Structures are given as structure tokens and as C-alpha cells.
Amino acid sequence: MDNPSKIIEGGIEYALGKFDGKSVIYDFDLILIYLNAKGKLLFGEHFKIYDDDLVIIRKLCHYLIKDHKNCKKDNIDPDKGILLSGPVGCGKTSLMKLIRHLPPLQRPYEIIPCRNIAFSFNHLGFKTIEDYGNTKFFCFDDLGIEPSGRYYGKDLNVMGEVLLSRYELYLQTKHKIKTHATTNLNAEELEERYGNRVRSRMRELFNLIAFDKNSKDKRS
């Protein structure tokens, strides 16, 4: 059997911890070395992991590697998905694109911009809601700033409907189907955008992990 504590990227082997034959004992410092190397491969040589973000990255890693002890300490439920919130340019999307590569034997999620889903609804109608209410793992990027959908004269809060579908799926599959998202909005803004019903479902679907509102814009 392959050693699940090691990942090969660009011909180089990276250890994430030690494998005792049954499970991996992860080492966060080794994980950071791997994530830094993978980030450069994905986003270019300018990519770097900022010290300010280590608390967030650590929480995401604990979640992904199913470190139940630390998840409990962080108040994270491993059965729920992740809602990663923070100001524009703080690196939410890049981080979600990066960390999905971390657990080598886990099912990765697909990252879809919410505006693409809204545009898809305008062309395909309710088939779009069905397509994203299926058993794939998704991360919905930039939740809350997508336009409303319009199909044959009917307006719809598309992502609100998608989230309700994902919530039903979450219940039906006994919490096995995960939904993740990134957003620039805070809890009040999300409630204003989607209404109280969707917001309460979001609390059950997601663990909220939030960047500091003063996080610097890494794109400048």
C-alpha cells in the first residue's frame, strides 16, 4: 500500500508526517513546507504563506486531516463543510484551491464561482439547481456577490436555492456530503442576501472560519 503520509509534487517527495501502518501522525511544520511548494506550483513563484494566516491554515488543516482533538479545540465539526470568510484579496480562494490537495486519499471538492452558477441558471433554469444539489463535493466561491438569476421572466435567488438543496442532501446522506464556500460578507450581510431560512441552514451546513477583517490585500 502507498504511504499516505507522503505526497509527490514535481518529482519531489514531501512528507506530511509519519505513517505507523494504520494512521498518519501529521506534522504541521511539514504540512506547511508541502503547502508552500504546492502553492508555488499552482500560483507561481511569488506565492508565499503569510505568518498572519497560520492560525487559519492550521484550523483548515486540522479539519481536512480529521484531527478530531484539535477540531474540538477549534470548535469545528468535521461533519460540516467550511465557510471561509474575510475581506477582498485576503487569499480565501487561493487557500481553498491549495488545501484541497492536502489529504492524499480524500475526495477533493470542485471550486465553482457563484456568479457562474447564477449565469448558468439564466440559460438552463432549474436544471442548474439540480446540477449543484447533487452528490459531488463543491466549494462555492464568492458567495453573496453573485447576481440574481432570471429564467423566463422569473427571478430567483439561485445560490439560496442551491444551499437549500445542499442542506437537504446533507441530511439525506447522514452528513457525508460536504459543501464549502468562500465569502466577503459577514453573517448579517449573508442573512440580508439570502434570508433567515437559508442563513439558519448555513449554520448547520458550515463551520465558519474567518480571516481578521483587517487582513491585508495580498493582491497588491
pLDDT in tens, 9-67: 888 999 999 998 888 899 999 999 999 999 999 999 999 999 999 999 999 999 999 99
Find out whether 31 and 102 touch, Cβ atoms under 8 Å: yes
What pLDDT sits at residue 220?
60
User: CA dist 63 to 27, 28, 158, 180, Å?
Assistant: 14, 13, 28, 12
Which residue from 197, 103, 85, 194 is spatially nearest to 141, judged by alpha carbons? 85
Mean pLDDT, all residues of the chain: 91
Handedness of CA 67, 68, 74, 79 (dihedral sign): positive
pTM value is 0.92
What pLDDT sits at residue 135?
84
As a whole number of angstroms, the distance between CA 188 and CA 114 comes to: 19
How many residues can be counted in the chain? 220
As a whole number of angstroms, the distance between CA 18 and CA 24 comes to: 6
pLDDT band at 137 (very low <50, low <70, confident <90, very high): very high
Report the percent of the chain where pLDDT is more than 70. Answer: 98
What pLDDT sits at residue 105?
64
In this structure, which amino acid lies at residue 81? G
Mean of pLDDT values over 120-142: 93
Annotated domain spans of the chain: 78-210
Q: Is 185 exposed, middle or buried (0-12, 13-18, 19+ CB in 10 A)?
A: middle
- Which CATH number is 78-210 given? 3.40.50.300
What pLDDT sits at residue 1?
43
